[in-house]
Amino acid sequence: MTTNNRQMKVFVGSSHAKLGDEIGQYLGINLGDMKVSRFSCGEIYVKINESIRGANVFLVQTCSQNVNEDLMELFITIDAFSRASASSITVVVPHFGYARQDKKSEPREPISAKLVANLLTTAGANRVITMDLHADQIQGYFDIPVDHLTAMPLFVKYFENLKLKDLIVVAPDTGRAKTAKKLADRLGAELAILHKTRPEHNKAAIMHVVGDVTGKTVLLFDDMVDTAGSVTQGLAALRKHGCNEEMYLACTHPVFSGPAIERLSSAGFKEVVVTNTIPITPEKRFPGLKVLSTAPLFAEAISRNHHNISISEIFE
């Protein structure tokens, strides 16, 4: 094991101060002092209020509902760290924005996930820590190391404690089948898959249920929920195929935009279990919503990065 004698400094951007505070508490450190403000025209200003020369700097900044503002603040803060002579700059981005634009599905479309990866590198980041990317191949878009964490242990522990009977884990589409199978195996459950078409952005039509859900307790499992159109339509399809009325939804990233809260509140889920990679404001909370903290995982990843210890051991 190789240790690191450089000083570790953890800073938190404005997108998710609560998660940053929790990470600092788990690490047992005081967070770095910096100022983030806006000029009257809306431009972002960042000032680091302490020396970081020669330090290993970690910056926690997620992509929330204000994804463009969050990313611009992230780029500017990385530049400030670089110009202040930090030894290394690791960005902790719990929810990686633009991850859904990971390929060209139509002619003349951008690959925005690749662009954001390029911008982070150009700004001066040396490493990225993130969680449950929408597509695993996004790791390859970076020319710097990426530590791709998963919230799987949090969901496994939570649902094991519920001791659900006749459980079946349902993937919302074929792209999430592999991850859903991992959760099903760890919970000793069966697997089903929803097959859907998406005629427009944020609109989906569920066509088929692959697997027998008759009389089963359904756990619909996805990486993110945006408008909740897919999951609520999927739930309707599962009901038609005879699942029981004890239904659960789990996702890592609760984007919850547009009509999501209204849809989830009236869908009939017994519980909607999410993590805190994105801050959930009071108006976006509803009965049955459970929020699991990712702070212990990110704190452990930060510590292991700083001390040059394997991160994969966290999940083994």
- From the list 193, 254, 245, the residue with the least C-alpha distance to 227 is 254
Residue matched to tokens 């159109």:
229
Q: Hey, is 244 helix, strand or coil? A: coil
For the record, the structure tokens of 258 come out as 């547009």
114, 182, 196, 284: the catalytic one is 196
Neighbours of 185 (CB within 10 A): 12
CB distance 10 to 60 below 8 Å: yes
Question: Could you tell me how many helices (H) and strands (E) the chain has, helices first?
Answer: 8, 14
Q: List, in order, residues 6 or more apart from 224 with CB less than 8 Å away.
A: 95, 134, 251, 252, 253, 254, 255
Paired strand residues for 225: 254
Distance CA 209, CA 195 (A): 6
CB distance 28 to 59 below 8 Å: no
- From the list 223, 111, 138, the residue with the least C-alpha distance to 177 is 223
Q: What is the dihedral of CA 75, 256, 103, 198, to 10 degrees?
A: -160
DSSP 124: T
Distance CA 98, CA 110 (A): 11
The b/e string for 21-32 (b: 16+ C-beta within 10 A; e otherwise) is ebbbebbeeebb
**How remote is the C-alpha of 156 from its chain's centroid?**
16
Is 196 among the residues known to form the active site?
A: yes
> Which residues are identified as catalytic?
196
